[in-house]
Amino acid sequence: MQTITISIPEILNKNLEQLISDGYAPSKEAVLSEALSRYVQSHSHEIVRTQILRDLTWGITE
């Protein structure tokens, strides 16, 4: 497993700590790992390529 260090806005940190203390998340590490995983999955090359091609097609025809 890779370790990274990040800086986040204070309000985001407070919200994250509240989620953890309320029992909605096990840890900051778990939340950030899930968030990064979802980001990478939703921004895969194929999805981005498809969206760009759709935008180009729209731009040419409009």
Q: Averaged in consecutive runs of 10 residues, what is the pLDDT profile of the chain (62 residues)? A: 92 96 96 92 82 88 78
Radius of gyration of the chain (CA): 18
What's the whole-model pTM score?
0.65
| Contact indicator for 17, 29 with CB cutoff of 8 Å | no
pLDDT, residue 21, reads 97
* Cα–Cα distance for residue pair 21/51, rounded to 1 Å: 39
Give me the residue spans of the domains in the chain.
10-61
pLDDT at 28: 94
Closest CA to 28 of 57, 6, 51, 54: 6
